[in-house]
Copies of this chain bind each other. A is one copy, B any other.
Amino acid sequence: MDAVIIYSGGLDSTVLLADIMRRMDKVTALNFNYGSKHNLRERASARTICEKLGVDFVEIELPFINQFFKSDLLQSGGNIPEGRYEAKSMKSTVVPFRNGIMISIAAGYAESIGAQFVLLASHKGDASQYPDCREEFTKTINKAVQLGTYSNVKIESPFNSLLKHEIVKIGLDINAPMELSWSCYKGKERPCLKCGTCYERTEAFYLNDVKDSSLTNEEWFEALKVIGKDKDG
């Protein structure tokens, strides 16, 4: 069976990519640039990981999102909020129907190349802020895609009931190249360690009792300070 994965180069989709490579015949990674502040930094990580794993890497540009949509995640939006990943601070980073758009494009692409599956790494931690990351949404758009394609392409989101630290646990178990993945919403040269997604990533490694292998020792200590765990707190 062949699969297309919506692949950002972030932590969750990197673990999913490593996971599905063990059970699919061929995997193609679709990477979207919708004009977020971190898309291009994330894309560099995605490309490196795909080269390392020998996965076809396809880059899709969606400039109209930055041009016409409203979100602080976008280059055209305001500042990225800092601190814990909570509904009230993170709502400004919602890109309206972003997952719906990426799933639809991936479905059309999958049908074009004869792949039966589209995979994405939505997880439970995203569900409170992002309505198009919820399990019920993924199930319903899966039905729509099956109805709307000749070959009944199937959408799968196997991490939808997992929290981020459970995804890190899988990544550790299967030796996914998490050290090359990128999460920070600010998209600078190094992670800011303070935005919602850095915060969440640090917590996820901390809960597994391991250092985030993408960080230097100094950065890891700084990251633990941000989440208030620098003194075994």
Q: What chain B residues lie within 8 Å of A64 (beta carbons)?
A: 60-61, 105
Q: What chain B residues lie within 8 Å of A98 (beta carbons)?
A: 108
Q: Mark A97-115, 1 if CB is under 8 A from B, else 0.
A: 1111101110111011000
Q: What chain B residues lie within 8 Å of A68 (beta carbons)?
A: 58, 60, 109, 112
Interface presence of A162 (CB below 8 A)? no
Determine which of B70, B103, B132, B148 lies in contact with A99 in the assembled complex, contact meaning CB atoms within 8 Å. Answer: B148
Determine which of B58, B70, B100, B140 lies in contact with A104 in the assembled complex, contact meaning CB atoms within 8 Å. Answer: B100
Asked if residues A112 and B70 are in contact (CB atoms below 8 Å), the reply is yes
CB A225 to nearest CB in B, in angstroms, measures 34
Asked if residues B108 and A65 are in contact (CB atoms below 8 Å), the reply is yes
Asked if residues B147 and A144 are in contact (CB atoms below 8 Å), the reply is no
Asked if residues B105 and A101 are in contact (CB atoms below 8 Å), the reply is yes
User: Oligomeric state, in number of copies?
Assistant: 2
Interface presence of A143 (CB below 8 A)? yes
- A8-50 contacts to B (CB < 8 Å): none
Interface presence of A149 (CB below 8 A)? yes
Closest chain B residue, CB of each to CB of A64: B60
Q: Mark A143-155, 1 if CB is under 8 A from B, else 0.
A: 1110111100100
Interface presence of A137 (CB below 8 A)? yes
Q: Mark A55-94, 1 if CB is under 8 A from B, else 0.
A: 0001011011100111000000000000000000000001
Bound form: Cα–Cα A136–B136 in Å:
18
Asked if residues A137 and B148 are in contact (CB atoms below 8 Å), the reply is yes
Closest chain B residue, CB of each to CB of A101: B104
Asked if residues A147 and B136 are in contact (CB atoms below 8 Å), the reply is yes
CB A58 to nearest CB in B, in angstroms, measures 7
Asked if residues B131 and A150 are in contact (CB atoms below 8 Å), the reply is yes
- List of 8 A-B pairs having minimum Cβ-Cβ separation, nearest first: A132-B148, A97-B108, A96-B111, A141-B144, A96-B108, A104-B104, A140-B144, A137-B147
Closest chain B residue, CB of each to CB of A141: B144
CB A175 to nearest CB in B, in angstroms, measures 31
